[in-house]
Structure 1
Amino acid sequence: MISTTYLNLEKQSAVNVGAEHTAREIMQQPQLWLDVLALIASQKIELESFLNPLYSLPNLRIILTGAGSSAFIGEAAAGLVQSSTGVITQAIPTTDIVTHPELAFNKAIPTLLVSFARSGNSPESVETVHLADEYVDDIYHLVITCNRDGELAEYVKNHKGNSYCLLLPEEANDKSLAMTGSFTSMLLSILVIAQLKNLGNVGEKVIAVSEHADEFFAKHLGDFMEIAGSQFDRVIFLGSGPMLGVARECHLKLQELTDGQVVCKHDSFLGFRHGPRAVVNEKSLLVFLFSNDPHVYQYERDLAASLAQDSRSLPIITYGAWYSDDFRSIINLAPRTSSCSAGEFRILSATLIGQLLGFYKCLNLGLKPDNPSISGAISRVVQGVNIYRKEK
């Protein structure tokens, strides 16, 4: 009898420690990405029929929105979407739009609102769609969601003239509290959709990052288990451009899965010099998420080299460092020369770092990854949010 294992835990052991869903949902991502790619390819004609007329609109604006991790998708993707489509693109969280819609929207500018939602039931996400309808004359909606029964999916069913819903595979609808596969599959979706006209080339990159993630799991799970057993209570994630959004997601994932016992921070490499570096203490773990752009890497390398010389000999994890550079890292993931074929999609595998650190540190602290919040202060779908109508 062949036993099923997830992240080096046998299935029954994972069940016993409250980790089954999270472990499976992290581990299945490489295949899930291929499934999402196939799904989008199967809807290519319909998506182009919806999007191409919008791209021809003068002054079209794209807003990427969501709450929590779903907002960080937009932060990571905005620049890449703008580069691919040639359309001004901004990431604005639903949590900002709900309180200040008049600052987020411009009534006279045609707008495509892209909503990312695992459940599609978060009060802010639902309200943001309605506010967009109210505050923008020429509004269009692209909903990317993991839940066919969510309110956002239902909204599109009733507004087909100006809306499109990409419903992701059921495997993307995480059952655990922390968003893992749902985050990366929605991030992947918008990157692919922004490059529909180059789907063949995009497909090669998605396959490359899927293969890299499989290699990641095969080679490095033991490393993450060992790191999780070390004494750190503060983790700083640094990234630039799209990697900054991923750093923010890694920050949240680790902090969320450890129920706040590990405090995290994220920043850009250049921004970290301007004061935030003061947060580093002797129990800090540093994570460098390097760019694959040689020009950007020069700036990142300078700060990384400085931190590597810190007299406290802080543990460092690097992602994408050049082989020739020595940052005294305890683990170097995805050397630049082996990840270049994935191009901009390498931000997907970088996201795994926060997920795995969070998962194993959660177990190390005696918490349950599927539901790490002892007090119940955080939940799978946010609770306690009242929506108030704003008088104009």
Structure 2
Amino acid sequence: MILTTYLNLEKQSAVNAGAENTAREIVQQPRLWLDVLALIASQKNDLAAFLYPLIEKPDLRIILTGAGSSAFIGESAQGIVQRNTGRLTQAIATTDIVTHPELTFQKQTPTLMVSFARSGNSPESVETVLLADENVSEIYHLIITCNEEGQLAGYAKRNKKRSYCLQLPENANDKSLAMTGSFTSMLLSVLLVSNLAKLSEIGEQVLSVSEIADAIIAEHLDDFISLSSKNFERVIFLGSGPMLGIARECHLKLQELTDGKVICKHDSFLGFRHGPRAVLNEKSLIVFLFSSESHVYQYERDLAISIADDLRKIPIISFGGWYEDDFRPLINIAPRSENCPAGDFRMLTGTLIGQLMGFYKSLELGLQPDNPSVSGAISRVVQGVKIYKKV
């Protein structure tokens, strides 16, 4: 009999530990990314027909929005979408838009709002779409969602002339509390959609990043299991540019999956020097999500060496470092090469770091990764948000 295992847990053991869904959803991501690539390739013409006339507008503004992890998708993708489209692109969380729409929208500026939503039912996500309609004369919506039954998907179906709903594969709709595959598949989607003209070329990069992710899962699970037994109370994730958004997602993932027992922080490498470095203490762990760009890496490596020289001997995890001997990480993952074949999509593999750290630390703490919130303070779809209309 062939046993099904997820992240080194036999299926029944994973079920008993309340970990089956999260384990499966993490490990299936490399395959899911290929499914997303195939989906977008199949809709390329329809997507182009909707998007190209908009992108041709020289004054088009693009807003990337979502709540929680979905907002961090926009933070990670903002610069790349702006580069790919040549249009002003801003990441603004729905949780900011709902309270301050007058500081977000410009009435006479044509706007494409890209909404990221796992369920499509979060109160802020639904209200943000309605506020955009009220406050922008020429508004268009690209809704990227994992739930075809969600309110946002329904909105797009009712407003087809100025909306497009990209419904992701069923496996993207995580059943667990913490977003894993839903985050990476929606991030991948917007990166692909913003560069449709080069879809065949960048498709090779997606294949590459899928293989890299499989290799990380195959080669480093024992490292993460060992790491989970170490006594750390604070974890700081650092990234630059697009990887800063990934650092933020990683910090949330570890904090969510440990029910707040591990306090996390994120920052940029350079920003961390300006005061936030004070958070480091003897029970800290620091995770470097290094850039694949040589120029950027020079700044990042300088900080890594400085922290390695700290007399408190702060333990280090390195993702993508070139010269790990300079800062002696506990774990070094996906060593960087001069011509990184994964391109922009390397961010997807960086996200695995926070997911795997969170999963195994959750188990180590006696929590259930599928639903780690003992008090019920956090839930899969945010509860208790009441929408107030401005008068």
TM-score (norm 2): 0.99
Output one character per residue of 1:106-165: Cα deviation in whole Å (capped at 9) or x when no partner: 000000000000000000000000000000000000000000000000000100000000
Measure the CA separation in 1 of the matches of 2:301 and 2:91: 27
> Would the alpha carbon gap of residues 96 and 107 (structure 1) be closer, same or farther in structure 2, given more than 3 Å must change?
same
State the one-letter code of the partner of 1:29: Q
Q: Does 1:168 pair with 2:168?
A: yes
1:247 corresponds to:
247
Measure the CA separation in 1 of the matches of 2:274 and 2:359: 31
Output one character per residue of 1:20-74: Cα deviation in whole Å (capped at 9) or x when no partner: 0000000000000000000000000000000000011130000000000000000
2:2 corresponds to:
2
SS of structure 1 residue aligned to 2:72: helix
1:389 corresponds to:
389
Measure the CA separation in 2 of the matches of 1:234 and 1:23: 24
Measure the CA separation in 2 of the matches of 1:324 and 1:259: 32
Measure the CA separation in 1 of the matches of 2:326 and 2:276: 24
Measure the CA separation in 2 of the matches of 1:44 and 1:200: 11
Amino-acid identity (%): 73
TM-score (norm 1): 0.99
Structure 1 residues 101-112: aligned runs within 5 Å: 101-112=101-112
Measure the CA separation in 1 of the matches of 2:76 and 2:326: 27
1:350 corresponds to:
350
Contact persistence 1:258–1:358 (CA under 8 A): yes
2:317 corresponds to:
317
Comparing 212-221 and 332-341, the one that deviates more: 332-341
Measure the CA separation in 2 of the matches of 1:140 and 1:323: 46
> Would the alpha carbon gap of residues 277 and 379 (structure 1) be closer, same or farther in structure 2, given more than 3 Å must change?
same
CA RMSD of aligned residues (A): 0.8
1:17 corresponds to:
17
Paired positions, count: 391
1:148 corresponds to:
148
1:199 corresponds to:
199
SS of structure 1 residue aligned to 2:340: helix
- Structure 2 unaligned runs (5+)? none
Measure the CA separation in 2 of the matches of 1:113 and 1:326: 44
- Structure 1 unaligned runs (5+)? none
Instruction: After TM superposition, give the deviation of residue 389 of structure 1 in Å.
Output: 0.6
Measure the CA separation in 2 of the matches of 1:158 and 1:324: 53
Measure the CA separation in 1 of the matches of 2:23 and 2:32: 14
Measure the CA separation in 2 of the matches of 1:289 and 1:192: 22
State the one-letter code of the partner of 1:5: T
2:40 corresponds to:
40
2:56 corresponds to:
56
Instruction: After TM superposition, give the deviation of residue 380 of structure 1 in Å.
Output: 0.2
State the one-letter code of the partner of 1:205: Q
Measure the CA separation in 2 of the matches of 1:280 and 1:273: 11
Measure the CA separation in 1 of the matches of 2:84 and 2:216: 28
SS of structure 2 residue aligned to 1:299: helix
SS of structure 2 residue aligned to 1:15: helix
Contact persistence 2:78–2:91 (CA under 8 A): yes
Comparing 362-371 and 323-332, the one that deviates more: 323-332
Measure the CA separation in 1 of the matches of 2:296 and 2:244: 13
Contact persistence 2:58–2:87 (CA under 8 A): no
Measure the CA separation in 2 of the matches of 1:83 and 1:332: 30
Instruction: After TM superposition, give the deviation of residue 337 of structure 1 in Å.
Output: 1.2
Measure the CA separation in 2 of the matches of 1:314 and 1:325: 15
Measure the CA separation in 2 of the matches of 1:325 and 1:299: 17
Instruction: After TM superposition, give the deviation of residue 248 of structure 1 in Å.
Output: 0.2
Instruction: After TM superposition, give the deviation of residue 324 of structure 1 in Å.
Output: 6.4
1:159 corresponds to:
159
Measure the CA separation in 2 of the matches of 1:207 and 1:145: 22
